[in-house]
């Protein structure tokens, strides 16, 4: 059952459904997008703040853009790393982290590369689009691992070089036009069999992440959405709450505590 946007009573009814589903569940999967980190100050991709020097992410987050102008792409990522380094997890991250320890079976599938879920202490995180705090060798040189941690915020030189071969390193994130690693897809697929699947703070327009909620529904999961606005998947889900994740999740958490979940 889903409800029209901006209808408070309807959103309350949808919240009731989610609380009931969570109370009866022994396994939970959560899918998150940039909306969960918005309250921490991390810009989302498709909101008005999603622009960087008038570039859209779709134009910069591609192998073609990197090969054409690695310095420009690294300037964008360095700007994002500097912004994210100043951010802290917000109440939405905290509630999801609490739930990750409360349910015997829990998986977080996040499209976010900012690392805020891990900093909030979330268990079993599947980084569907990689991490801005990892890099890999652009040449894929034999002496370098597939990817490795790099917590540098501001680089001494851009673009940074691979310590193993002297070539370029690239951000450890999945770009448009690149596939999701098979082991990541496998981890996500296994999580679709959980009792409840919540999609939170994502516009649900980028695939294959956007297909996960309907795949979970097809596997019999109760599917809920928490997002500021309606998305293309809202109508297919069992309950859709329109509101800020950091507010709605805080309320759901208190109601779940009251229900003894």
Annotated active-site positions, please?
Answer: 129
The number of residues that bind ligand APR (CB under 6 A) is 24
User: Which of residues 132 and 162 has its CB atom nearest to ligand APR in the complex?
Assistant: 132
Q: Which is nearer to ligand APR, 41 or 163 (CB)?
A: 41
- Contact (CB, 8 A) for 174 and 201: no
Q: List the one residue from 38, 169, 196, 216 that touches ligand APR (CB under 6 A).
A: 38
Distance CA 77, CA 69 (A): 13
Residues between 197 and 236 with contacts to ligand APR, criterion CB under 6 A = 201-203, 206, 227-229, 231
Residue 159 vs 171, nearer CB to ligand APR? 171
Which long-range contacts does 67-72 make (Cβ < 8 Å, 24+ apart)? Answer: 70/138, 70/159, 70/168, 70/170, 71/158, 71/159
Query: What is the C-alpha to C-alpha distance for residues 209 and 96, in angstroms, rounded to an integer?
Result: 18
| The pairing of beta strand 105-110 with beta strand 148-149 | unpaired
35 binds ligand APR (CB under 6 A): yes
| CA 99 – CA 94 distance, rounded (Å) | 9
Residue 117's nearest CA partner among 75, 87, 158 is: 87
Q: Which of 19, 22, 28, 39 binds ligand APR (CB under 6 A)?
A: 39
Q: Return the number of the residue (29 or 144) whose C-beta is nearest ligand APR.
A: 29
Indicate the DSSP class of residue 6: T
Q: Which is nearer to ligand APR, 23 or 228 (CB)?
A: 228
Could you say whether residue 180 binds ligand APR (CB under 6 A)? no
CA neighbor of 14 nearest in space, from 261, 232, 230: 230
Q: Segment contacting ligand APR (CB under 6 A): 77-85, 114-122, 196-204, 215-223?
A: 196-204
Binding status of residue 122 toward ligand APR by CB under 6 A: no
Asked if residue 137 lies in contact with residue 144, where contact means CB atoms within 8 angstroms, the answer is yes
Q: Which of residues 237-256 bind ligand APR (CB under 6 A)?
A: 244-246
Q: Summarize as ranges the residues that interact with ligand APR (CB under 6 A).
A: 33-35, 38-39, 44-47, 50, 57, 111, 129, 201-203, 206, 227-229, 231, 244-246
């Amino acid at each position: 059952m889903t409800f029209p946007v901006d209808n408070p009573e309807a959103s309350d009814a949808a919240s009731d459904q989610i609380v009931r589903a969570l109370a009866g569940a022994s396994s939970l999967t959560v899918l998150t997008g940039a909306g969960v980190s918005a309250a921490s100050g991390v810009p989302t991709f498709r909101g008005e703040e999603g622009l960087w020097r008038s570039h859209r992410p779709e134009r910069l987050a591609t192998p073609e853009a990197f090969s054409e102008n690695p310095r420009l792409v690294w300037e964008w990522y360095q700007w994002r790393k500097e912004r994210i380094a100043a951010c802290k997890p917000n109440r939405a991250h905290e509630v999801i982290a609490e739930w990750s320890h409360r349910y015997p079976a829990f998986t977080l599938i996040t499209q976010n590369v900012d690392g805020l879920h891990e900093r909030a202490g979330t268990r079993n995180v599947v980084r569907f689009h990689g991490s801005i705090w990892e890099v890999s060798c652009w040449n894929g040189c034999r002496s370098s691992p597939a990817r490795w941690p790099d917590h540098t915020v501001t680089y001494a030189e851009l673009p940074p070089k691979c310590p193993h071969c002297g070539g370029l390193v690239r951000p450890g994130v999945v770009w448009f036009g690149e596939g999701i690693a098979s082991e990541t897809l496998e981890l996500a697929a296994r999580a679709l069999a959980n009792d409840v699947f919540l999609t939170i703070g994502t516009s649900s327009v980028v695939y294959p992440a956007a297909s996960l909620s309907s795949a979970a529904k097809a596997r019999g999961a109760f599917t809920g959405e928490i997002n500021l606005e309606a998305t293309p998947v809202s109508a297919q889900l069992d309950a859709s709450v329109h509101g800020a994740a950091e507010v709605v999740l805080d309320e759901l958490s208190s109601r779940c505590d009251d229900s003894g979940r």
